[in-house]
Structure 1
């Protein structure tokens, strides 16, 4: 992931993460970088991990929302501008949504103490 600057940290990719990087780069070469196509891309890339989607911030920003904790290699792939398809002049923000704490298991809080969003 060399972008002309000295990297602050190096991410070693496993074989699966490297395959994901190759798929992401191939998609960025053929996409039109619209929200529906980026959402399709994210669903394909993270099909077995959980929900992840792109939203329009309506102020020249785009949010990538993860409803699961992404790995460092996931974030490294998506934060690389040469890989992630981003419309021109749009800032990308990454949001990791908290997992809701709702239930009646012994290790959870009562109904009025959970995380709701």
Structure 2
């Protein structure tokens, strides 16, 4: 049953990722913003799940289904790396560094915010 739950959550995560990318591209004309938004929101939610596990004893099944299933499909490391490589291909190393470092810093801050907020509320 756990496998089905993870698969179902992953299907919703993939759809949510696709929609996030469509909306971001429509609003800004840049697909890289969709990747950034998905990864930062995913990190925030992962931090919240980790915080709920610590503060409220959230069952590990939730962590697996939501964290691995939904967020695993929603966040997108491979797209992020392909975008970084494309900046290098286009001879834009500064944009590549900003893309990689900005995503790393924002994602880490979002995960920490989610974790600390939920633990503090708990």
- Shorter-chain TM-score above 0.5: no
TM-score computed with the length of structure 1 as normaliser: 0.35
TM-score computed with the length of structure 2 as normaliser: 0.34
Q: Which has the higher contact order (CA 8 A, sep 6+)?
A: 2
